[in-house]
Amino acid sequence: MSEVVLPDLFWLEPQREQLRQAHAQQRLPHALLIHDIPGGGGQHLALYAARLALCSVRSQAPCGNCRECALLSSALPGIPDSIQHPDLYWVSPLTDGEKASQQISISQIRELREDLSHTSHGSSGASVAIISPAETLTVPAANALLKTLEEPRTGALIVLLTAAPGKLLATLRSRCLRMQLRLPPRAQIIDWLNQARGAADWAAVLDVMGDAPLLALDADARHLAQVMRDTQHGLDRVLTGEPEAISTLAAQWSKAEQLPVRLACIESWIGVRVGATPPSGLQKSSRAASKQEAPAGNLAALVRAHDAVCELARQITTPINKTLALELILLQVSRSRGS
Ligand SMILES: [Zn+2]
């Protein structure tokens, strides 16, 4: 995790202002549902809500100077181990040990209920739990959480963070104040990235990663451009009828550390061929590189390839055979060549 201080995530300000006002008027809800956008900064907003609730100087919260604020200063979005405040709980799927899982289990929620039932340590009297990503709650865990929301302890704030609120129990959703993140226009995201990381072809990065400022922030623009060129070259080979390229490329591209970026590049390449308007940068060059526009009759194969890319992206952390999945994607790409 980088120690570099980020420029302000200015697009979160409307939501922060809404939370500040609610807090000042003692109307902060006991359950908040943050509808995140991948790379949009929902975890930062969840931490902001925690800072607000736990600060002991209500009129200036989060004041940044009190003991509570000092304890929270080390907390990093999405890194539970960085939390030192005893009244802030970050609940996510367990990543290591015997109980490692893709889901938040009922025993984690039972433990949280137990923690929240105690009086808080701080002078604000508040406790905050951030549950992220909330759609990974198992059904029993969600039901246990629902009970907690139905009998809230005074001063307890539960923040559910999710990019897929539709996957939460409707009864859980209905008990929360919902807050939706909205991204700024692309030009402002590019300005922000220039400020945060220095000048680079951020438009090209956003073409591949989508308009997701925090995902783009972690991307190495030069490396990404290289992966994009390499991917285009590989896909063009498959398209021009080098069947032996399929298994070679699939084996190369399935390497875990590069796979997410590679999939984004393939998706972008398919998008250009099916006629999605390329905003700028890399996609323009990919359009130039892909000499043939996709004939309508072969669109179906490209759509199947696209669906398979999305499916693999969804399952990227599971132990499925990535090489095989990539071979199937490349096979569809080769079929889109037509006769
Ligand atoms: Zn404070």
The CATH code for residues 10-180 is 3.40.50.300
User: Which one, of 94, 87, 80, 181, lies nearest residue 141 by Cα?
Assistant: 94
Domain boundaries, the chain: 10-180, 186-335
Ligand 1 center–CA 61 separation, angstroms: 6
Ligand 1 center–CA 183 separation, angstroms: 28
For residues 109 and 115, give the distance between their C-alpha atoms in angstroms, rounded to a whole number.
10
Ligand 1 center–CA 155 separation, angstroms: 16
pLDDT in tens, the chain (339 residues): 445 578 999 999 999 999 999 999 999 999 999 999 988 999 999 999 999 999 999 889 999 999 999 999 988 887 888 888 999 999 999 877 777 788 999 999 999 999 988 877 777 789 999 999 999 999 999 999 999 999 888 889 999 999 999 999 999 999 999 999 999 999 999 999 999 999 988 988 888 888 889 988 887 888 888 888 899 999 999 988 887 889 999 999 998 778 888 998 999 889 888 875 444 434 434 444 444 455 555 888 999 999 999 999 888 878 889 999 999 999 999 988 865
The gap from C-alpha 273 to its chain's centroid, in whole angstroms, comes to 27
Which ranges constitute the DSSP H helices of the chain? 13-24, 42-54, 67-72, 106-117, 139-150, 170-173, 186-197, 202-209, 213-218, 221-239, 244-253, 259-273, 281-289, 299-314, 322-335
CB 213 within 8 A of CB 43: no
Ligand 1 center–CA 128 separation, angstroms: 15
Ligand 1 center–CA 66 separation, angstroms: 4
Ligand 1 center–CA 127 separation, angstroms: 14
DSSP 3-state of 160: strand
Ligand 1 center–CA 74 separation, angstroms: 14
Place of tokens 């006769």: 339
Ligand 1 center–CA 62 separation, angstroms: 5
In the β-sheet with 156-162, what is the strand arrangement from edge to edge? 88-91, 127-131, 156-162, 31-35, 177-180
Rg of the Cα trace of the chain? 23
